[in-house]
Structures are given as C-alpha cells and as structure tokens.
Chain A
Amino acid sequence: MYAFEIDRPTTLDAAVTALGQEEAQALGGGQTLIPALKQRLASPARLVSLTGIDELKGICVADDGALCIGAATSHATVAAEAAATYPALADLAAHIGDPAVRNRGTIGGSLANNDPSACYPAAVLASGATIRTNTREIAADDYFEGMFATALEEGEIITEIRFPVPEQAAYVKFAQPASRFALVGVFIARFGDGVRVAVTGASEDGVFRWTEAEAALSDDFRPEAVAGLSVDPEGMIGDLHGSPEYRAHLIRVLTGRAVAAA
C-alpha cells in the first residue's frame, strides 16, 4: 500500500467537498479498493470514507412502494432488512462473499465498481432500478457501460438506489469455483408490464439484458419458455473457469432455474 490521507466526513456535503481535492477517491466498504491498494494497483492520495455518513445508510420503502437503499448500506444489512420487501434482492446480498465481506462491502461500492462478475448489477438492471447520485438520477439501463465502466462522473457519489419491487423475482448465481463471484448470474424480475432478465459474469461487455428471454417470459412465465432459446457465445468471456460456449449455455440453464425459483 502507498501512503494516503483519509477523510471521514459525516455529511454528504462534506464528502462532496472532500472528493473535490486532488487525487481523492471515495471509499465504501473497501472490499474491492483496499485489496487493490494493498497490491499497489491503485494509488489515490486521499480516501474519503462514506461509511460514516448516516444519510447514505439504511433501507426504507418509498410511498410508491420502491425499496430505497442508501449507497453505504452493507450487504449484510440488505440481506437482513430487505428480506421482507424484496426477498430475491436480500438473497443475492446474503450470498456475496463471506461474512467479513458482507459486513463491510456496500451496495454503492459494488455498483460504482461494476465488476463484470458482481451480483448487484444484475439486480439493479433486472429491477429497472434508479441510481441516485449527489447530482442526478440515472436509470439502470443508462448506468452500466461495460466492464468496470459506468455513467458516473469523476467525483460523483452514489447516494441511493431505488428498486421498484417486482411481483416475482429470483437471482441464481453459478459460482466461479475460486473467487465465488458469479461465473454466470441471472436475475429475473417479473412486473405487471413484463419480465426483465439481467445477466452478469458472462459478457465481455459486463452486465446485460437478455431481451429474447424477456420477450419469451413475458408471454409465458415458465422455465420451458426459455428451453428452446440460446445465447450466442460470441462476446462471452472465456477464461480458466469456462469457455464462451459454457457461459452461453449456463445463461439459458440459470434463466430457467431462476424462473422456477421466482
């Protein structure tokens, strides 16, 4: 780790100001950033910790029924407190990493990082959630811009994520054997006006919507509806843990399982 300064603001305004300083970077739960610092892969001069800011933490249900989660809310808190309102989301959070990761890692950090194998991006995209920042609101469909790339501007802070709660939903993750991130993960959300299917772990472009399956499932919400579909392996990730063909195959299998589980 290189030496750095750390600020621990207690208000969002103070955090925004702190992030305006040279070479400053937000610190959520540190479960991605700290390992990168330890390996000297990043060298911010200053970290601005967001986990001491009360207004960024906690879970509530808005008047329109949407589930609102503060960006600095830990995975463990989501797992516990979203269970009644949005069980599929709580279940996703409950299976991220290990207890240490879940107690420190935050939803905002996960979304800002947008790891192509991370779990939350699938939930956000499938739910059609809205990402709120200190300056604006970004629709999920506009937020994810490829591996580790998002619509966030330099210094922009995610403050809250608003999830419309679907009638039925499920997340099925097939764990990469070593990291236990998603080798492929599929989140399915069924709303009154249709089904959304988001896939993580598989594509070289990061999380994406499988629109063909969405159409089929909107017509017929049964596993059989996707049995005949297939995903083109082109553009899928190929690595030690699975070929593009394998990942493409898993997308269909897991989509069927998610429908069954929803």
Chain B
Amino acid sequence: MPKDHGIGASSKRREDKRFLTGKGRYTDDINLPGQAHAWFVRSQVAHGRLTGVDTSAAEAMPGVLRVFTGADFEGVGGLPCGWLVTDRFGQPMQEPGHPVLARGKVRHVGDPVAVVVAETAEQARDAAEAVEVEIDELPAVLDMKAALDPDAPLVHDELKNNLCYDWGFVEENRAAVDAAFETAAHVTTLDLVNQRLVPNAMEPRVALGDFNPATEDSTLYTTSQNPHVIRLLMGAFVLGIPEHKLRVIAPDVGGGFGSKIFHYAEEAFCTFAAKQLKRPVKWTCTRSEAFISDAHGRDHVTRIELALDAEGHFQALRTETHANMGAYLSTFAPSIPTWLHGTLMAGNYKTPLIYVNVKAVFTNTVPVDAYRGAGRPEATYQLERVIDKAAREMGIDPVEIRRRNFITEFPYATPVAVEYDTGDYNATLDKLLEIADVAGFEARLADSKSRGMLRGLGLNCYIEACGIAPSQLVGQLGARAGLYESATVRVNATGGLVVMTGSHSHGQGHETTFAQVVADMIGIGEDMVEIVHGDTANTPMGMGTYGSRSLAVGGSAMVRATNKIIAKAKKIAAHLMEAAPEDIELKDGRFSVAGTDKSVAWGDVTLAAYVPHNYPLEDIEPGLEETAFYDPNNFTYPAGVYACEVEVDPDTGKVTVCSFAAADDFGNIVNPMIVSGQVHGGIAQGVGQALLEAASYDDYGQLLSGSYMDYAMPRADDVPFYRVDHSCATPCTHNPLGVKGCGEAGAIGSPPAVVNAVVDALQRAGHTGVTHIDMPLTPSRVWAAMQG
C-alpha cells in the first residue's frame, strides 16, 4: 500500500499552488520605493583592448542617474573563484582576475563594460546606446587546442599562456595505465565532444540591491541557489561588507540547473550602486542577455581509450580532455572537469587502472561552470559511449559487457579516489530490461522496418556522486568553502513547526518533501510544518542547493535538529507525566510512558515549553528550537541503467525518441512522485543535449545560437512518455535518511542512451562505418553521417 502521508508518500507539491496560479514571488516581482534601473553595456566583440569608454552623452540623457565603468571599481575586489585546482606538477592553477566591469580588455561577447542607472529601465537602455565604447579588436581565441599553441593570442595578458591547469588523476597511476595499454588484447579509442550548452532556466537572472543609509545595511535580492554563499563571496571578497551588514534574499527562483549557483557581476554591481546612489538598483536580465552572461555548461573535447582483455574485461582506462573555462573562472569552474569528472571515471565498473588528464583552457567565450550534472554527465557520456563501441568491436552484447565488469561488492574503493558505499547494479539492470521490454525489441524493430524507418536500442549505466563532501577532504582538494548543511527547527507554542533550512528550493519541491520528513518523525500532519529558505536573515548559514545535495545533506541536518527537538520534548513530556525520559515513546504525535496508558499530546508538550508553568526549569531551558549542522563523511552514489529506443528517418536523418526507460537506485525515497518528476525533467534535458541543444560560436566569437530561433530547447513533443522506476533501492549507509539524491541523474544518464541508440539504428541498417556522431544529433548531422 502506498503511504498517504509522511516519508514515502506522493504528497502533492504544496508550492505548486502558488506557482501554477501566478502567485509565486520571484525577484523581479519585488519592487522597492525609489528603485532605479540598471542596464549593462556589454562588449559586442569577443576580444579587444578597451581604449576608451565615453559616458558623457549617456549621462546627459533623460532620467540618467549615473553611468558606471570599470574605473568606478578600482578599489573593489574582483569576482572570486571558489576552487583552487593543483596541476599534475604540483603547481596551482593560473587564476586571472575577474573584474566586475571590464578593465583594460574585453574578453567575450557579453563582457560588461559599463552600466547605466536611470529612473526607468527604458531610459537606462536608451542611454546605454549612447555610451561610446572604443575597442581595438584582437583575434579571438576560440578553439581550445589552438589556444594552447605557443603563438596563440593571450586571453589574459598577465598569464603565461591560455592554460588554466593541466591536471592528472591519479598522476601516480599514469605509468601503470600506459603499460596496461601496451599489453591489452583490445583497445577501443573514441574522440568525442561534449558540447557547450546554455542553461536556460525559465526565470532569467535578476538582482536588486538596496542600502539603508540609516543603519548602513545592504540587502541584495537575487535569483540564487545559495544566498549564504553569495553573501560570503560578495561581502568578503568583492565589496568588503561584513556579513552582519549584508542580507541576501533569494525568494522564489524559477529554475537554476547550476547557473544560479555562481556569484555574478550584476549582483555585486547592484549592491554597490545602491550604496553609491542611496537608492535601490534593479537589473532584470533579458533572455538575449542570458545567452551571453549566464555561465554555460559542458564544453569538453575528449579522447577516451579503453583497454580490454580478450573476454571484454576492462583492464585500463585513459582519457584526455580539453575543458573550456571560457574567458574567466566562474565560481566553481575549475572543480567541474576535475573533482566532479575525474572521480567518476570508474563508472559502475571495476576497471583496475584509470588515468584522467584534463587541460582547462581560457578562450574568448562566456565562462563555463556547473550545469545539471556538472562533470558527471561528461564522465558518463564518454565512458558509456566507449563501452558501447568496444562491445561492438569485440562482438559482445552491450548488456553482457557491462554485467561482466560490474562492481558487485560494496563498499568499493575505485582507482579514482572515491569509495562507493552501496549499490546493486545487476538489480537495476534487470529492472531496466523489464520496464524497457528489451525482449520485445525485435518485434518493434520489424514494425519500424515495415514503415521504412531505422530503429535502434541504446542502453547505458551511470553512477554519480551527490552531496559533495566531507568538508575536510574537499578542502584538501582545493575547495575554498565548506560543504555542510544546516537547519533550525523552531517549534511554536501551539505545536506547529518552522524549519529554516540552508538548502534552497528552485523547483525541487523542498517545501513538500522536507515537511514530509519532519512530520513523519514526529507523527503530525505535514500541514503543521512550514519550510523557510532563501533569506540569510532568517536561516542558518548554509551552502544552498546544487549537486543533488539537499535531501542527503540538508535533509540530514534537518533530521538531526528534529532529533534534538524530540529528545528535549521527551524530557518535557517525562516531567509532565512524572516519568523517566528514557521511558517516553513518541508515536503519531503523542508521548506515552512505555508500559502504561499515560500519554500527553505533542501540543501539550510544545505549550509547556513556552508556557513553563509546570516545567523542569532547573534541568532544561524553556522553548523548543534547535539547530544542527551536518557535514557528511562521504558522497552518496546514486546509480542506474537507462534505455532509449529511437527511430531514424533514413531520408532526412531525423531522430524520434520512441521510448525511454530509467531504473534508478536513489536509496530511500521520500516522495516518489517528486523523484519521478526530477527524473523526467533530467531526461528531457539529457535528450535536449543529445538531439537539440548547442551553443555555437562563429570564428569571431559571436554566439550563433544566441536566441531560441537557433538554440533548440526540447519541447513536449520531442520527448516520449517515460518509464521510470526507483524500486531497486540500496539505502545510503552514512546519512540518517538513507537517501542519495535524484536531481541530476536524468541529465547524467540519458545522453549516452540516446546516442548509443542512434548509432545502433544506423549500424543495424548497414551503416557500419558510423561508430559515433557528436551531439547534438540533429537531422543534418545524422544524414551527413549516413552519407559516409
């Protein structure tokens, strides 16, 4: 019987009522008295020397309050990078400055050069057109390999070259890996591109800065996934505002997918300008501007090699990746192709020897950072593509070759420095074969053939790592932040609870699931629990939401705080019933004394806590409010197996996704409906990457796919109905809920399934020369591949 409330129930998302009725309160819905508007003047060229910015005409225009340029930020810090990667020679990465407004040079189309602040947004925009920017254009650095040429122009003149770092992992394994390749029975090599993507959250970014001259407090309202991190980075590194004088509020946020983790120039600008002008300053990003100012995702160019023995056992794996950083280091950019990518290269397999090399490169393009999956999709894609290719080359069934190499014993320490705590890859594979009806494929293939269509089946596994931790370890790896999470549980006198979490919900449904957990622990209705997030003034210092960490890390903090509440409430109940605290049991919202019929209700205890007339004041304090911080001792490792069936139109190359099945192990599930929804959304994004999306630059560094006229987002009719299953659960062994995280799996696991399916379809149709097609598999690319 499915549960109807608490952990395990598909409770309806309570936040949807306001979202679906247009009552959400997003940053752009917030308007403050006296608010002025900012418009950014951005570079229209990819690379050039900034020789002059003349603001005089703009300043004279109607409504203009002030025009800011890079010179106004002389005494202000640059945007900091939150992760220091050490290269394979033990040297720190090259870390160029990242000014709020460009100084000296512009480095990508969209690089902010000046900002007009005016009474209205239209006036600011009018005046922005009158700002005269003089730029001596320089050749744009675009291709990553060419960027490493000794003669290549420098993106940052102060650096030795355009190489951010050359990272080897695990460097000590390199020789052994190379040796294994010398003696392997079979080696499969694959060159591939994991293309650059534009995140395209539904809600574009917005920043609204406010300054109170009376108290000298600054407030920033922003579209952020982690307001505390923004407060710390912006306050400490950019503007020099102590945290107690700075409040950051991220209200309802309409999707982030990673792109709203980072600290952006516009946030610092609006906070800074509000103080300068003593007026609130608001900036609302246009969709066109989002394409050239939101951090992009992916953009890896990889060669992967797999060495196998004659039976198809993986002997060694070697990869070389060029990872695009873009023009500046976005907040967490250096960690994505390294610690979130190299550490996942073992996948679900017991490959004994692995070496990952990553060269991170500066180019004159928009900065690249985490995007749904962040490093793990790139790892999964190359691994699962090369396995498919190897299986085909060796004549081994793609399911069988994976089974043969599965890790089956846990905990398992991989050669790339992580330890998987639990998993059962055969179970998810069996489940997948069932829900995808792989046995019925031949019949569907025959049906497709009868209609003149090519059909293919693609399948792959994935493993991912969520809730990046522990802080001590990530500190050694170069993180400049901790990766714990926090929660304060405040019980009110009449028994209702408010949970103030450091996690941030921007589509994930925390307000529903977090309430389910706490209500279940106490045995009260979910409607008695309110979840508060997104405001540094009323939530404990938290690290926010990304990397599918919220339930595993934030939820664990919340469980800890709730346990403290329950322990204290039991003491109060014991006092009320004149019993020993050890004898008190809590069930269905009532405290009872074991072995007796004595009981008191949850509400009696909470009232006693705040009206302590009859209360053990000598032993415990009044009130019922607890805070907990939780720093996990490992990542969690969700894993799964995905299958995709496609039809390819042989005349046009158009790919249709006929079916998609996903069997995931997310550990314990709090709300199955929300988990399914997360998987659905992730698969849609993955199918989007596989078939449709690409951020393409021309030779001058202009973004060709700079609007929805050319950047193809997946739409409802591009994706099939999904078959998803989360029943093969091996609970996480090291967090109290036994949960693993489900937010990114769909986007991580799906691209290789789609590409494997298309290659399979073409191979079955006799296009045996087609062993790979780079994403996105647009009709024209697939058609060109069929032409040979």
B281-298, CB < 8 A from A? 288
**Chain A CB within 10 Å, residue with most, of B705, B711, B778:** B778
Chain A residue with minimal CB distance to B776? A177
| Binary interface encoding of chain B residues 88-120 relative to chain A, with 1 for a CB under 8 A from any of its CBs, else 0 | 000000000000000000000000000000000
Max count, chain A CB within 10 A of own CB: residue among B691, B708, B710: B710
**Beyond A240-B696, A243-B784, A246-B784, is A177–B779 a contact (Cβ under 8 Å)?**
yes
Decide: A178 and B779 in contact? CB cutoff 8 A.
Answer: no
A253 and B784 in contact (CB under 8 A), knowing A177-B692, A178-B705?
Answer: no
Residues of B within 8 A of A246 (CB): 779-780, 783-784
A250 at the interface (CB under 8 A from B): yes
Q: Is the CB of A242 within 8 A of B710?
A: no
Give complex CA distance A2, B780 in Å: 39
How far is it, in angstroms, between the C-alpha of A40 and the C-alpha of B129 when the chains are bound? 10
Complex Cα spacing A240 to B707, Å:
13
Residue of B whose beta carbon sits closest to that of A181: B709
Q: Does A39 contact B (CB under 8 A)?
A: yes
- Please tell me if A174 contacts chain B, counting CB pairs below 8 Å: yes
Query: Are B708 and A253 closer than 8 Å at their CB atoms?
Result: no
Give chain A residues whose Cβ lies under 8 Å from the Cβ of B694.
240
Q: Report chain B residues within 8 Å CB of A39.
A: 288
Q: Does B31 contact A (CB under 8 A)?
A: no
Q: Do A174 and B705 touch across chains, with their CB atoms under 8 A apart?
A: no
Chain B nearest CB from A1 CB (Å) reads 8
A209 within 8 A of B: no
The answer, yes or no, to whether A179 is at the interface (CB within 8 Å) is yes
How distant is the Cα of A241 from the Cα of B784 in the complex, in angstroms? 12
Q: How far is the CA of A250 from the CA of B129 in the complex (A)?
A: 42
Alpha-carbon distance A2/B123, docked complex (angstroms) = 10
Smallest CB–CB gap between B593 and chain A, Å?
65
A249 within 8 A of B: yes
- Contacts A178-B711, A240-B710; A249 near B783 (Cβ below 8 A): yes
**Cα A253 to Cα B652 with chains together (Å):** 8
B323: min CB distance to chain A, Å: 23
Which residue of the partner chain B has the closest CB to A39? B288
Q: A240-B704, A240-B705, A253-B651 are in contact. Are A179 and B783 (CB under 8 A)?
A: no
Q: Which residues 162-192 of A have a CB within 8 angstroms of B?
A: 174, 177-179, 183
Chain B residues whose C-beta falls within 8 Å of the C-beta of A174 in the assembled complex: 652, 654, 779
Q: Which residues of A contact B780 (CB under 8 A)?
A: 241-243, 246
**C-alpha spacing A177/B126, complex, angstroms:** 34
Number of A-B residue pairs having CB atoms within 8 Å of each other in the complex: 46
The answer on a CB contact under 8 Å between B652 and A179 is no
Q: Which residues on the A side are within 8 Å of B712 (C-beta)?
A: 177-178
Bound-state CA distance A39–B287 (Å) is 11
CB nearest neighbor in B for A184? B652
A179 touches B709 (CB 8 A): yes
Contact with A along B149-188 (1 / 0, CB 8 A): 0000000000000000000000000000000000000000
* A249 to B654 CA separation, bound complex (whole angstroms): 13
- Interface of chain B, main secondary structure: loop
Write out, one digit per residue, whether chain B residues 604-643 have a CB within 8 A of any chain A CB (1) or not (0).
Answer: 0000000000000000000000000000000000000000
Q: In the docked arrangement, what's the CA distance between A1 and B122, Å? A: 8
Q: Which residues of B contact A241 (CB under 8 A)?
A: 710, 778, 780
Shortest Cβ distance from A256 into B: residue: B651
Tell me, rounded to whole Å, the shortest Cβ–Cβ distance linking B691 to chain A. Answer: 8
Q: Give chain B residues whose Cβ lies under 8 Å from the Cβ of A249.
A: 783
Question: How far is it, in angstroms, between the C-alpha of A246 and the C-alpha of B288 when the chains are bound?
Answer: 29
Contact with A along B761-788 (1 / 0, CB 8 A): 0000000000000000011100110000
Evaluate whether A178 and B652 lie within 8 angstroms (CB atoms) in the complex, with A242-B779, A242-B780, A243-B784 already known: no
B783 lies within 8 A of A178 (CB): no
Contact B784 A178 (CB under 8 A): no
Which chain B positions have C-beta within 8 A of A179? 708-710
Residue of chain A at shortest CB distance from B692: A177
Q: Which B residues are CB-close (under 8 A) to A183?
A: 779
Among A237-255, those with CB < 8 Å from B are: 240-243, 246, 249-250, 253
Chain B 652-696 near chain A by CB (<8 Å), digits 1 or 0: 101000000000000000000000000000000000000110101
Q: How far is the CA of A177 from the CA of B779 in the complex (A)?
A: 9
A178 near B710 with CB under 8 A, answer: yes
Query: Closest CB of chain A to B714's CB: distance in Å?
Result: 10
- Name the residue on A nearest B698 (C-beta): A240
Q: Which residues of B contact A1 (CB under 8 A)?
A: 122
User: Which chain B positions have C-beta within 8 A of A243?
Assistant: 780, 784
Mark out the residues of chain B between 251 and 288 whose CB falls within 8 Å of any chain A CB in the assembled complex. Answer: 288
- Write out the residue numbers on chain A whose beta carbons fall within 8 Å of the beta carbon of B288: 39
A126 vs B652: C-alpha distance when bound (angstroms): 23
The smallest beta-carbon distance between A239 and chain B, in angstroms, is 8
Given A243-B784, A253-B651, A253-B652, answer yes or no on A178-B708 (Cβ-Cβ < 8 Å): yes
A177 partner residues in chain B, CB cutoff 8 A: 691-692, 712, 778-779
Set of chain A residues within 8 Å of B784, measured between Cβ atoms: 243, 246
Q: How far is it, in angstroms, between the C-alpha of A249 and the C-alpha of B652 when the chains are bound? A: 8
- Chain A, 1-42, CB within 8 A of any chain B CB: 1-2, 39-40
Residues 703-737 of chain B: 1 if any A CB is under 8 Å from the residue's CB, otherwise 0? Answer: 01100111111000000000000000000000000
Closest Cβ of chain B to A93, distance in Å, is 19
CB distance from B507 to the nearest CB of A (A): 23
CB contacts (< 8 Å) of B651 on chain A: these are: 253
B709 A178 Cβ-Cβ under 8 A: yes
- Cα-based distance from A40 to B125 in the complex (angstroms): 10
Q: What's the minimum C-beta distance from B315 to chain A, rounded to whole angstroms?
A: 40
Looking at A179, A240, A242, A253, the one whose CB has the most chain B CB atoms below 10 A away is: A240
Q: How far is A39 from B778 in the complex, measured between Cα atoms in Å? A: 28
Chain A residues with Cβ under 8 A from B696's Cβ?
Answer: 240
Query: Chain A nearest CB: distance from B774 CB in Å?
Result: 14
Please name all residues of chain A whose beta carbon is closer than 8 Å to the beta carbon of B654 when the two chains form the complex: 174
Query: Which chain A residues in 34-59 approach chain B with CB under 8 Å?
Result: 39-40
Could you tell me which residues of chain A, from 215 to 262, have a CB within 8 Å of some CB in chain B?
A: 240-243, 246, 249-250, 253
The 3 closest A-B pairs by CB, nearest first: A178-B712, A242-B780, A177-B712
Pull 27 A–B residue pairs with CB atoms less than 8 Å apart, ordered by A: A1-B122, A2-B126, A40-B125, A174-B654, A177-B692, A177-B778, A177-B779, A178-B692, A178-B705, A178-B709, A178-B710, A178-B711, A178-B712, A178-B713, A179-B708, A179-B709, A240-B694, A240-B704, A241-B778, A241-B780, A242-B779, A242-B780, A243-B780, A246-B780, A246-B783, A253-B651, A253-B652
11 other A-B residue contacts (CB within 8 Å) besides A179-B709, A183-B779, A250-B652: A177-B691, A178-B692, A178-B711, A178-B713, A179-B710, A240-B696, A240-B705, A241-B710, A242-B779, A246-B779, A246-B783
